[in-house]
Amino acid sequence: MKFNRNYVYLLSGQSLANIGDVLYIVSIISAIFVTTGSATAASFVPFTITSSMFLSSILTPLLIGKVNLKWLLAGSQMAKTCLMVFLAFLVAEVSESNYMLLFLVIAAIALLDGCANPIRQTLIPHYVESEQLVRANGFAETVTQTIQTVMWFVGSLLLTIMGAVPLVWLVVLIFSISSILLCFLEPVEKGASEDKDVLGQVQDGWWTLYRTPVLRKLAAVETLETMAGTVWIAAILYVFVSEALHVGEAWWGFLNGSFFVGLIIGSVFCVRYSSLMDRNMGTMMLIGSVAGFIVTVAFSFTSHPWLALALSLLIGVSGQIKNIPQQTVIQTSVPKEKLSTVYTSLGAIGTGVFGVSSLLVGAMADLFGVRTVFLLSGILLGLASMILYRNNALFVKNVES
């Protein structure tokens, strides 16, 4: 498998950025918990990140029309590096009187992340030939999920060995290398016309979603799947382990690990059989979606820890078999210059729905029981499968460029 140097620079730079993101979040959660002694305060870190990324998804189109995508991505990473330097000094002096400043810096970093994520997805079809898109998306997902699987463990280990402040300085180094790699990317065309007013630039992606049938259907599918996916947040899965499986808290980690291993296996499958995926995108998306629906419903009823572990792995596998060809469908459904605003709009939907659903699913678990929310998750996935089945002919490569 051979990709061009732009794809290698993009994947390498973003992979280092992802590694740094995990390490700094581990450091900040630890610093806040040690300073305050409050798990609630520490839990506001992911809430702050999600909220800021939602806001970023709304505002990013304002920059897309004015700054080249390559420099928007590299510039956001440089800005993150500068903020990380400030964060390192702040963590060294953190106390109960000033720890709230950490949340302001976290929010600013998440704003920049919310800008970078849709641009990375937009740049892949600029740097990769159409016939290699499935393989490129699959390989990128394999690397990303491997980082997510491994780095939380590595981050915890490094935190124990180094402490929070040195770990943040290590992130500064990692972010600096990431910034340099991204600067080597070749420039691409700007993502939107420059003559639009502010409102027009913000609305551009939303209008494209609405007017493009395949994107409109995928936005509905994404909404349902995001709502379904909130049952996998730590708090809900922890309750399931305790009340449904009746095992120790270590199984929470086992289920999480099994799910991420499933994501990696699904990504590797898509890379290995990329030509099959390329020829049968709609069918593979439907197979992955239906499998996710069936396995999630089965998971909601199981009381056997080892069976739950196997089902968790299958949920990860089926999710990637559906999601990777879906990325290729999105990337080829509109001209490349519109992709960045499409991804920011989809990102806004995802983060907004996830934030609201995360609050609702906790209340529902208390009212109706944790098995019920997993069953509801399966039903939502079933509805998403119905949309994919009824519109299967739409999910192909529509634009060759």
Residues 343 and 263 in one domain: yes
Residues 154 and 258 in one domain: no
Count other C-beta atoms under 10 Å from residue 32's C-beta: 25
- At 277, is the pLDDT very low, low, confident or very high (cuts 50, 70, 90)? confident
pLDDT at 196 over 70: no
Burial 122-161 (b: 16+ CB within 10 A, else e): bbbbbbbeeebbbbbbbbbbbbbbbbbbebbeebeebbee
Residue 390: give the domain boundaries. Answer: 201-394
What global pTM score does this model have?
0.78
Residues 21 and 167 in one domain: yes
In three-state form (DSSP H/G/I as H, E/B as E, the rest C), the secondary structure along the chain is CCCCHHHHHHHHHHHHHHHHHHHHHHHHHHHHHHHHCCHHHHHHHHHHHHHHHHHHHHHCHHHHCCCCHHHHHHHHHHHHHHHHHHHHHHHHCCCCCCCHHHHHHHHHHHHHHHHHHHHHHHHHHHHCCHHHHHHHHHHHHHHHHHHHHHHHHHHHHHHHHHCHHHHHHHHHHHHHHHHHHHHCCCCCCCCCCCCCCHHHHHHHHHHHHHHCHHHHHHHHHHHHHHHHHHHHCHHHHHHHHHHHHCCCCHHHHHHHHHHHHHHHHHHHHHHHCHHHHHHCHHHHHHHHHHHHHHHHHHHHHCCCHHHHHHHHHHHHHHHHHHHHHHHHHHHCCCCHHHHHHHHHHHHHHHHHHHHHHHHHHHHHHHHHCHHHHHHHHHHHHHHHHHHHHHCHHHCCCCCCC
Residues 112 and 159 in one domain: yes
Residues 282 and 367 in one domain: yes
Number of folded domains in the chain?
2
The domain boundary, picked from 133, 157, 191, lies at: 191
Highest mean pLDDT out of 65-79, 247-261, 305-319: 305-319
Residue 240: inside a domain: yes
Residues 185 and 293 in one domain: no
Highest mean pLDDT out of 31-45, 207-221, 283-297: 283-297
Residue 64: inside a domain: yes
Residues 32 and 121 in one domain: yes
C-alpha closest to that of 337 among 203, 205, 179, 247:
205
Residues 114 and 215 in one domain: no
Residue 294: inside a domain: yes
Residue 399: inside a domain: no
The domain boundary, picked from 128, 161, 191, lies at: 191
Please give the share of the chain, as a percent, with pLDDT higher than 70.
Answer: 92
Calculate the average pLDDT of the chain. Answer: 85
Residues 74 and 213 in one domain: no
Residues 179 and 154 in one domain: yes
pLDDT tens for each residue of 171-195:
999 999 999 999 999 887 654 444 5
Residue 215: inside a domain: yes
Residue 401: inside a domain: no
Residue 300: inside a domain: yes
The domain boundary, picked from 191, 216, 238, lies at: 191
- At 401, is the pLDDT very low, low, confident or very high (cuts 50, 70, 90)? very low
Which is more confident, 287 or 134? 287
Residues 207 and 97 in one domain: no
Residues 266 and 171 in one domain: no
Q: What is the pLDDT of residue 97?
A: 77
pLDDT at 109 over 90: yes
- At 390, is the pLDDT very low, low, confident or very high (cuts 50, 70, 90)? very high
Residue 196: inside a domain: no
pLDDT tens for each residue of 142-179:
888 888 878 877 887 888 888 889 999 999 999 999 99
CATH number of 224's domain: 1.20.1250.20
